[in-house]
Amino acid sequence: MLKPHSWVLRLGHRYVRDDRLTTHVGLVARAFGASGIYIVGGEVQIKESIDKVSERWGGPFRVELIEEWRKVISNWRAQGGIIVHLTMYGLLVSDVIEDIRSAQKDLLIIVGAEKVPREIFDLADYNVAIGHQPHSEAAALAVFLDHLYRGQELKITYDHSKLKIMPHSRGKKVLSLEEEKVGG
């Protein structure tokens, strides 16, 4: 189990327009070691797509569709967790990651879409930049989690998976754990 535990809070999802990217943020969160994601204003289809991946490739990973993000932040803080906001305006990840990791507290990692409300910058314990250039919430989240977990997240094994990749230098080999046979 990776420590500290982390959840992602996806803010600013734009109806339909951001469906694919928000789904990718969820998949990145799952694959890079977070325990779940809160999606503000996301459609049920986004949750279904991410849940479907967890069903086939294992979990646990939770997806919660929410409307009220302030409550999530205040509950998180009340339970002793800390808040990290990923933004290109923040402090460089390599300068703060040691502090964040050594706090040994559960992390709520906020990523935005187009524009993040100003108050998030004040609510966050850390405003963290993955470099000071604009790029993508999916990329920012992946790099942050990789720094946080020092690459160990890439070795995670998931419970109750139906499929498992058998690494191969060229071909595609996938073990179907349900049927106990190798396909590819």
Ligand X SMILES: C[S@@+](CC[C@H](N)C(=O)[O-])C[C@H]1O[C@@H](n2cnc3c(N)ncnc32)[C@H](O)[C@@H]1O
Q: Which amino acid is at 104?
A: Q
- Shortest Cβ 114–ligand X spacing (Å): 6
Residue nearest to ligand X (CB): 112
HEC states along 122-161?
Answer: HHCCEEEECCCCCCCHHHHHHHHHHHHCCCHHHHCCCECC
133 part of the interface to ligand X, by CB under 6 A: yes
Q: How far is the CB of 85 from ligand X (least distance, A)?
A: 7
**Closer CB to ligand X, residue 23 or residue 54?**
23
When binding is defined by CB under 6 A, the residue of 6, 47, 112, 142 that contacts ligand X is 112
Of the listed pieces 2-10, 27-35, 62-70, 108-116, which binds ligand X according to CB under 6 A?
Answer: 108-116
Q: How far is the CB of 111 from ligand X (least distance, A)?
A: 4
Residue 116 in the binding site for ligand X (CB under 6 A)? yes
> Of the two residues 50 and 96, which places its CB atom closer to ligand X in the complex?
96
Q: Is residue 111 involved in binding ligand X (CB under 6 A)? A: yes
Q: Is 28 in the site for ligand X (CB under 6 A)?
A: no
Q: Which is nearer to ligand X, 82 or 140 (CB)?
A: 140
DSSP 162: S
Binding segment for ligand X among 27-35, 136-144, 155-163, 172-180 (CB under 6 A)? Answer: 136-144
Strands 181-183 and 174-176: antiparallel
CB of 62 to ligand X, least distance (A): 21
SS (H, E, C) 32-59: CCCCEEEEECCCHHHHHHHHHHHHHHCE
Q: How far apart are the first and last CA of the chain?
A: 30
* SS3 assignment, position 85: strand
CB atoms within 10 A of CB 157: 7
Site stretch for ligand X (CB under 6 A), options 24-32, 61-69, 110-118, 155-163: 110-118
Distance in angstroms (rounded) separating the CA atoms of residues 37 and 21: 14
